[in-house]
Structure formats: C-alpha cells, structure tokens
Amino acid sequence: MVRNYTDLEIINRIRGLKSFKGFPLQRYIVGIRSNDDITNKYDDKFYIFEGERFITMTTGTTNPGSPILEAGFLKYNKVGAAVVKSNECYYDLWQHGYHMGKMEALRQVNPIIVYRDGDRDGKSEEIGTPISGLYGINFHTNDYNKFSKEIKTNIGNWSAGCQVVNDCEKYYQLIPTFRVQKFVTYFLLQEF
C-alpha cells in the first residue's frame, strides 16, 4: 500500500513534473501508484484537492486487474492492456457522467497517455512506446450498487485501464461533488 503523504509533499512533487502548467482552482484528483504494485490488489491511493488545499483521500487502483493483463485485454485492444503513464499531468481529462451507463463516474473526454502491456504476465508495467488518445479511461468505483459498504481487495475485471476506487461508500459521497465542474484534472504520480 502506498504510504501517506503530506499535502505539501504531493503539491511539490506535482510542481516538479515536466507537464505541470499550474493547479486547477476547482477540485482535481491525484493518483499515486504503489511501487510494490501487488498483482490484482487495490494498493494505490487517490487524493482530492481543490487549488492547493487537500480535501480527502481514498484507496483504489491505477492499474488494470490481472484477468485483463493476462489476456482479457484482447477484448479491448490486441496490443495490450492500457496502463496510464505516471508522473504526468492530465488537464481537463474527465467530465461528470456515467461509466457503462450504469454508475455515476468521471468519463474521459480528453487524451491520456498509456502504455500497452501485452506480455500477459499479470503484472502492470509501463513498457513499450507510450501513446496518447481517447481510450475510455474513466474514474469509477467497483460496484454498481451505490449502497454497498463493501471495500473489495481484488481488482478483477473492474479495471481495464480505468482508475478505480475500492471504497464504494466513500466514492458515492465524493463523486457528486464533481457535478458542478465542467472538467476534472488528473495528476498521476508514481510512489516517491
């Protein structure tokens, strides 16, 4: 599991990214990908900020689940599973909407950089040549039941590249706060 960071540590790390152009005034999400990257486990964190002010934190994954990495990606892309490039700023990446038409979510509306991991070893890796585009990389949770209080531990098929929260109760409290924004920016960091 990713260690806890102070607000200042996260803000300073984002400022140091080559793609950094400033902090949004509205709410945005900072994903931090675990260096341990335990296969098929929710071991990453998402921090919510507004400007430079910390709002809350929740757990989840920034990686595809092992069923996708082991060959399930073939359903979506023959080259490999989408692994979002870390240490990047993705400005205005998402808009409030629905994932698969079934759950309130943040839907990708602007390009994101991914690697296509096709080695089928079940491990999420930033390998090969990064590519930029619209791939349906959404921000959502892992249960269509908005009243679920379960905190799941296994990713399974819930992520084929999407950024997924595993605390449904916290997610369904958080996601409505983004309804008033036109866009939501995402910063993805590798654990540091």
Three-state SS letters, the chain: CCCCCCHHHHHHHHHCCCCCCCCCCCEEEEEEECCCCCCCECCEEEEEEECCEEEEEEEEECCCCHHHHCCHHHHCCCCCEEEECCCEEEEEEEEEEEECCCEEEEEECCCEEEEEECCCCCCCCCCCCCEEECCCCCEEECCCCCCCCCECCECHHHCCCCEEECEHHHHHHHHHHHCCCCCEEEEEEECC
Tell me what pLDDT residue 137 has.
Answer: 98
Tell me what pLDDT residue 20 has.
Answer: 98
Using the structure block, give the residue that is written with the tokens 């990708």. 108
C-alpha pair distances (Å), 177 with each of 50, 95, 152: 11, 12, 23
Kindly report the average pLDDT of the chain as a whole number.
Answer: 96
pLDDT tops 90 at residue 1: no
What is the mean pLDDT of the segment spanning 161-187? 97
C-alpha pair distances (Å), 133 with each of 27, 52, 53, 114, 192: 23, 28, 30, 8, 27
pLDDT band at residue 69, thresholds of 50, 70 and 90?
A: very high
pLDDT tens for 8-66 read 999 999 999 999 999 999 999 999 999 998 999 999 999 999 999 999 999 999 999 99
pLDDT band at residue 97, thresholds of 50, 70 and 90?
A: very high
pLDDT tens for 105-119 read 999 999 999 999 999
Tell me what pLDDT residue 28 has.
Answer: 98
C-alpha pair distances (Å), 57 with each of 7, 130, 149, 190: 11, 28, 17, 16
pLDDT band at residue 190, thresholds of 50, 70 and 90?
A: very high
